[in-house]
Amino acid sequence: MRAALLAISGACLPLALAPIGWWPIALLSVAVLKGLVDQRPEGGHRASCAEVYGKFLFFGLGLYASGASWIFISIHQYGQASAVLSALLTVLFVIALAAIFALPMMLYGAVQPKGRWPQLLLFSAAWVLGEWFRGWFLTGFPWLYLGYGFIDSWLAGWAPVGGALAVSGMVALTACVIGLLPTAKRYPRQMAASAGIVAVLWVLGGVLHTAVWTQRANIEPLRTALIQPDLPILEKWQPDFLPATLAEMRAIAVANRTQDLLVWPESAIPALAHQVEPFLTELGHFANTAGSAVILGLPRRSLEGKYFNTVIGLGRATGSYEKRRLVPFGEYVPLESWLRGAIAFFDLPMSAFSSGAPNQRGISLNGNGIASAICYEIAYGAQVAIDARDAAFLLTVSIDTWFGDSLGPHQHLQIARMRALENGKPLARGTNDGITAFIDHRGRIVDQLPRFKADILYGEIAPRTGTTPYGYWRDWPVLIIATIAIFLGLTLHRRTQPAALE
C-alpha cells in the first residue's frame, strides 16, 4: 500500500505542470513523499538505505510513467516499433529515469533526520541537487522540474535571480512545511518559524516579479512571422517531397516580404544544406532585396563528413548555429555499432548527428545577437543563459511532432517560458506542428497557434539589452546554497538531543 501511494503521488505531480497547471498538486505530492519517507518501519528502527531508496524509486516511477508517457508515442508511432516492444522500451526508460531520480535523494535517506530544521534543510537541498544531477548525468534529462509548474505563481519572481532550480527548492521547502502540519501542536514555535520563512519567500517572489532586470533596446520591434508548416515528419524526407516544400517556402517568403523576420522551424528543409544551396542563395538574395531576414532549420554536412542539426540566417540575418545537446536515439544512437539496424526506432531519419562546438558565434540580425536553441536544448537553463547574455532575444525551433498528441509539447512550451523569464528576454518559438508561440520577457505567452494546423503566427519581438542575475551567475549560487544547507542540516542533526526528537 505504501508503494502504491508513493507511485500515485508521483503520478499526480505532472498535474501541476502544463497543460493542467494545478500547481498546489505539486506541494501535496511532495509533502506525501516526504511524509512516507520519514515514516519509520514497524518497531521504530531506522530504515535501511535500500528501503529509503525504494520509496523514492516508486515515487519516480509514478512521476515519469505519467509525465513522460509521450515516449511511447515517439517509439511506436514514429519509431515504427510494435506496441509490445514500444511498451517494453518505455517501461525500461521510466525505470532508468526513476532510478536516477532516487539516487541523489539518498543524501536525505542516508541521514533520515527526525529534527524539524534538519528535515527542512536536507530534503529541500537534496531535491535541488537532485534536479541538477538529472540535468547533467549522462548528458541529462532536465524535464519535469518542480519549478516549471510555478511559473504563474509568486515564486516565479525568483526565476531571474536563481533560475528554475531556485524555484524548485522553494517549492520543496514549502511542501516540507506542509508535511509538518500534523506536528504543529507538538512543535508550535518551530512550525510558526518555518511557516514564516516560507511566507517571506513567497511574498518576496511576488515583489521580485515586478522587478525589471533588462532594458528595452533602442531599436524598433521586429515584425516577425513564425511559419508552422505542419509537414508529415516521416514522409517529408522522401526525395519527391522536396520540390513542393521549397516551392511552398518560396511562396510564403514572397507573400510576407514586408516582415522584418521570417522563421521556419527545425529541419524545415528536408535536405542537406549543400543539396539546396541554389535555393538558399535565391532566398537570401530575395530577403536582402526586401530588407528582411530569414531563419530556418536544416541538416548540414561538414567537409569532414560529420552531420549537424543547424539553423541558418539569410538576408539581414547572418551566421548559423549547430545544435550542441543531442537527443539520444532521435539524433544519435548510443552503442551505435550494436543497436543501429536492430529495429526501425534506431534508424530514424537524421539520427546520426554530431554535437556542435561549445562556443559558437551564432546568428545575428542587423548586428544584434540571437540566442538560439534547437528543440530539446531549451531545457538546459545554464547553456541558454550563457548565450542570452549579449542577445537581443531568444529563439527556439523544434519538431514536437515526435511527441504526438500528448503532454510533451505543452511541457516543452512551459520550459521555454521559464527560459524567457530567467533571462529577461523575449522568446520566439517556431515548431513544425505546434505549439508555435511568442513569449515576452516575463515568460508570458503573447500569442500562439493551435497544434496540427499549417499556419503563420504574426507578432512583434521587442529586443532587450542587459542580463538578469541568473543570466550572469547561472545555477552556481543555488548549488552552493544547497551544498551549505546540506552541511548545516547535518550539523543540526548531530547537535539535536534525542529527547527533543521524540
Q: Are strands 391-398 and 368-374 parallel, antiparallel or unpaired?
A: parallel
Catalytic residue among 375, 377, 422, 425: 375
Separation between Cα atoms, residue 388 and residue 476, nearest integer Å = 17
Q: Are 377 and 322 contacting, i.e. CB atoms less than 8 angstroms apart?
A: no
Cis peptide preceding 100, ω within 30 of 0: no
Beta carbons within 8 Å of 499's beta carbon, 6+ residues apart? none
State how far the Cα of 181 lies from the Cα of 195, in Å rounded to an integer. 10
Give the separation between CA 97 and CA 130, rounded to whole angstroms.
12
Q: How far apart are CA 217 and CA 392, in angstroms?
A: 8
The one catalytic residue in 34, 55, 236, 323 is 323
Q: Among this protein's residues, is 323 annotated catalytic?
A: yes
Cβ within 8 Å of residue 221, ≥6 positions away:
460, 461, 462, 463
Residue 307 DSSP SS3:
strand
Active site residue 266: yes
Dihedrals φ, ψ of 58, to 5°? -65, -40
Q: Which residues, listed in sequence order, are joined to residue 117 by a DSSP beta bridge?
A: none
Q: Which helix (H) or strand (E) holds 121?
A: helix 116-134
Question: Active-site residue 375, yes or no?
Answer: yes
177 Cβ contact list (under 8 Å, min separation 6):
120, 191, 194, 195, 198
Give the separation between CA 452 and CA 400, rounded to whole angstroms: 10
d(CA 314, CA 311): 10
Q: Phi, psi (5° rounding) for residue 310?
A: -130, 150
Report which secondary-structure segment, H or E, holds 251: helix 242-255
Query: Quick check: helix, strand or coil at residue 437?
Result: strand
Please give the C-alpha separations between residue 193 and each of 34, 116, 190, 322, 485, in angstroms, as whole numbers: 19, 11, 5, 50, 17
**What three-state secondary structure class fits 292?**
coil
Candidate list 131, 266, 377, 422, residue with the active-site label: 266
As annotated, the active-site residues are 266, 323, 375
